[in-house]
Structure 1
Amino acid sequence: MANMGIEILAFILTISGWILISSTLPIDYWKVSSIDGTVITTATFWSNLWKTCVTDSTGVSNCKDFPSMLALEGYIQVCRGLMIAAVCLGFFGAILALVGMKCTKIGGSDRVKARIACLAGLNFLLGGLSSMTACSLYAHRITSEFFDPTFVAQKYELGAALFIGWAGSALCILGGAVFCFSMSEGGTTTTRVGYTYSGAASFLSSRIKPQHEAADVRSSRGKGIPPKQFDKNAYV
C-alpha cells in the first residue's frame, strides 16, 4: 500500500511537471526588454522561441515570426530541439507510467510492470534534464548580454516562461527519480531458501514404529526368543 501511494505521488509530480514544460512552448514571454536605466518607456520588446514582438504604450502588439529556421541563432535552435524532446519524452513517459503502475490492471506481472515503470521514470528524468538545459541555456544568453558592457543593442531580462520551465523540469526530475527508486524496490524479489517439512513424516513414523515394535515382540515370543530388556538409563 505504501509503495502504491509513492508511485501515485510520483505520477502526479511528473504529470504536473510535463504540463508545465509543455505550457512554456506557446508562452510569449521568454525574454522581456529591460527598463534598467530608462526613464520613459514607450515600447516593450519581448520574444520566445518562435517570434519576436513589440508592445507600444497603448497596449497594441505587433509580432513577427522568425523568417527562417536555418537563419536562427544557434542557441534558439538548440532550445527548440530540447524543449520538443522534453515534451515527447514526457508524453511517452506518461503512457509507460500508466502501464507500469501497480494500481492499473495492464502491464503483466509485477516484475514486468516494475521494469516498465523504471523506463517511464527514466523518460521523465531525461525530459526534465532536457527542459532544464534549454531554459538554462536561454537564460545564460540573456544574462551574458545584460552584463556585457560592450553589448549596445537592446538588453533583455528573464521572462516568466523560463521560471515555469525550471519548475516543471524540477518536478519531472524529482518525480522520475521517485518513480525509479520506488519501482526498483518493488520489483526486487528476495530469494527464499527451501525447507523440507518433515512433520507429517515424523508423525507417521511415530505411529508406525510402535506397531513394528509390537510385531517384533510377538514374533520373538512365538520363536521363544526373550524380549530385549533395556536399562532405565539406556536412552540417557
Structure 2
Amino acid sequence: MANTSLQVMGLMLAIAGWAFGILVCVAPWWRVSAFVGDELLVSQVLWEGLWMTCLSQWGRLQCKVYDSGLALSSSAQTCRGLCVLSLLLCLLAVPLSVVGLKCTRCLGDAHESKARMVRVSAVLFLLAAFFFLVPVCWTAYVIIRDFYDPNVAAPFKRELGPALYLGWGVTVMMLVGGAVLYLGSASPGVPAVPVFGRGGKANPPSTAESKPEKVFV
C-alpha cells in the first residue's frame, strides 16, 4: 500500500525544485564578470544568463534580452533547450502525481492505477533533474576552463554566478523529490497470503456445520 506522507513530501520537494528551476532558467545570473585587465572594478559588473544580459553600474541595473537566439553559440542554445525540456517534464509530472496521490479521489478506488501514475511522474521528475543538471554543469565547466585559459583575454573571463549554485540545489530537490515520490508509491515486496491459499488458515467451520444432525425415528 502506498505511503501518503512519503508521496506528499516527495511531491512538495519536486514542486519546489520546479519553481526554483524556473527562476534559475530566466535569471541573468549564470555568468558574472568584474575583471577588466588586472584590476577589479566594483562599480561595473556584467551579468549573463540564458535569455538576457544585465549591466550593474553604480547601483543601477540595465537588462537587455538577446537580439537573436540563433546568434548564440551552440552550447548556449543546447543549454536553453535542455532547461526548457526539464521544466516541461515537470509540468507534465505535477498533474500526474496529484491525480495519483493516495489522498486524492480523482480515480476512485483504483489504487494500483493511482500508484502507477505516481511512479511515472516520479520517473519524469528524475529525468527532469538530469536534463537540468547537464546545462548547469556544462556552463560551470566552460567558465572554469576559460578562466584558467591564458589565451582568453581578461575582459572576457567570467566567474560562476549564483544561479549555477541554485541550479545544483534545484537538481538535488528534483532528485530527492522524485526518489521519495517513487518509494512512497512502491508496491509491498511480499504480498499478503490469500485466505483460501494452500498455506492459509481459514476460519474453522462452525460446530453446527461440521457435525451432521442426528435424526431420531
**Residues 143-182 of structure 1: matches in 2 within 5 Å?**
143-152=144-153, 153-182=155-184
Which residue in 2 is equivalent to 1:98? 98
SS in 2 for 1:54: strand
Residues 129 and 174, structure 2, Cα contact 8 Å, conserved in 1: yes
2:196 to 181, 194, 197: 194
Aligned residues between the structures: 210
CA distance in 1, matches of 2:47, 2:194: 64
CA distance in 2, matches of 1:112, 1:2: 12
Distance 1:42 1:74, change over 3 A: same
SS in 2 for 1:29: coil
Structure 1 window deviating more from structure 2 (116-125 vs 30-39): it is 30-39
Residue deviations 1:162-204, cap 9 Å, x none? 111111111011110111122123698546251565614x633
Residues 18 and 90, structure 1, Cα contact 8 Å, conserved in 2: yes
CA distance in 2, matches of 1:187, 1:14: 25
Residues 2 and 185, structure 2, Cα contact 8 Å, conserved in 1: no
RMSD (Å), alpha carbons: 2.5
SS in 2 for 1:25: helix
Q: Which amino acid aligns with 1:206?
A: K
Residue deviations 1:30-62, cap 9 Å, x none? 110144942444521111001223333x23344
CA distance in 2, matches of 1:172, 1:40: 37
The structure with the largest alpha-carbon Rg is 1
Identity rate of aligned residues, in percent? 29
In the alignment, structure 2 segments of 5+ residues that lack a partner are: none
Larger RCO, structures 1/2 (Cα 8 Å, 6+ apart): 2
**Residues 223-234 of structure 1: matches in 2 within 5 Å?**
none
Give, in angstroms, the shift of residue 63 of structure 1: 3.7
Larger helix proportion, structure 1 or 2? 1
SS in 2 for 1:149: coil
CA distance in 2, matches of 1:16, 1:93: 13
Which residue in 1 is equivalent to 2:124? 123
TM-score (norm 1): 0.79
Residues 2 and 115, structure 2, Cα contact 8 Å, conserved in 1: no
Distance 1:189 1:112, change over 3 A: farther
CA distance in 2, matches of 1:70, 1:84: 16
Residues 2 and 102, structure 2, Cα contact 8 Å, conserved in 1: no
Which residue in 2 is equivalent to 1:228? none
Give, in angstroms, the shift of residue 26 of structure 1: 2.1
Which residue in 2 is equivalent to 1:204? 209
Residues 147 and 158, structure 2, Cα contact 8 Å, conserved in 1: yes
SS in 2 for 1:185: coil
